Amino acid sequence: MRARRAGAWLKRAVVMSIAVLMPLGVTVAGGGATASAAFNPSGFDFWVDSDMGPIKSRIFRAADGNTNRVVYALDGMRARNDLSGWEIDTEVARELTKWNINVVMPVGGMSSFYADWNAPSTILGIGGGSSGSASASSSGSGAMQMLAGGPGKSTRYTWESFLTNNLRWALRDRLGFNPNRNGVFGLSMGGSAALTLAAYHPDQFGYAASYSGYLNVSAPGMREALRVAMIDAGGYNIDSMAPPWGPQWLRMDPFVFAPRLKANNTRLWVSAGSGLPAAQDGLSFGTLNAMGLEALALANTRAFQVRMATLGANNVTYDFPAVGVHNWRYWETEVYRMIPDLSAHIG
């Protein structure tokens, strides 16, 4: 009965979100109200070669200088190629390092879901030029980038391999970072990816957190909702990421691989807001988009919660604030809530 109710709720949320977001031009994760942090001079650039070319991460060292406690912070769909949204729009790195945790912020990966894609992003076999950039504004202009080159188009995205192989061992060999029992957290796209990484690489990630993540991507309507979002966020084609409903797509669905997270006994922190704005959010185009996106994330997250409950999983902390939409202010606050639990379960 609970599963049927969750399924009906998810269907209604998907329909509502598509109805609201498609005519407006969706503003995907990374948009909305932001903090005023920007560049943090305490971090340093860390370049690592990969099949995608050289990839930059930003590293923030633990206050006590340890190399044992490490967490990865994953960005949202509008991930930029210069700095992570976590650095641009929040102060989480400063707080985490005070807790003697080393922070790794991979830079880039717009619309990638931090996955190994099936092929470079193309539309009807056209695209993937050698020039151009994967950038998009919040006005829905990402569709103009569909035939451009750039990351994930001129080359195939291989983010999972990068994070679990190239970057992991470079951090160990060059900085002495512990490659095991790390934490990983992310918002929206990055939240889904954090759970995926923990499910399939439990030796590397013993802790994972999802904020406003899409945790039931195989539910009716979800693939098309994400299709719209990925077109807007850089002009990416979801069919290049994974064919519909095949093993590669199902492998990316936290609802499907939930038994792995239980079997691994991965410590999880999972949250989503209500979709209701606070007074400081104001009533604007951006707030309406953020409300719709958060309603969709909440329905996905509740469905995942029901799934884990049916498995008898007791390794998850859930947090569902009564107020919260899809923007950085709420994700930053959620990190602060999570830090004591993270600190107790990594390294």
Give the integer Cα–Cα distance in Å for 138 and 330.
19
Give the integer Cα–Cα distance in Å for 87 and 102.
14
Rounded alpha-carbon distances, angstroms, from residue 327 to 127, 139, 210, 255, 256:
31, 16, 14, 24, 27
> At which residue do the structure tokens 């633990």 appear?
62
Give the integer Cα–Cα distance in Å for 38 and 139.
22
Query: What's the chain's Rg over C-alpha atoms?
Result: 18
| DSSP class of 347 | -
Please state the separation of Cα 347 from the chain's center in Å. Answer: 22
Kindly give, in sequence order, each residue whose CB lies less than 8 Å from that of residue 19, ignoring residues fewer than 6 positions away.
Answer: none
188 labelled catalytic = yes
Catalytic residue among 87, 111, 121, 294: 294
Catalytic residue among 17, 192, 326, 334: 326
One-letter amino acid identity for 313? A
Q: Are 207 and 346 in contact (CB under 8 A)?
A: yes
294 labelled catalytic = yes
Strand order in the sheet with 182-187: 44-48, 55-60, 102-106, 70-74, 182-187, 205-211, 267-271, 316-319
Catalytic residue among 188, 210, 212, 240: 188
Catalytic (active-site) positions: 188, 294, 326
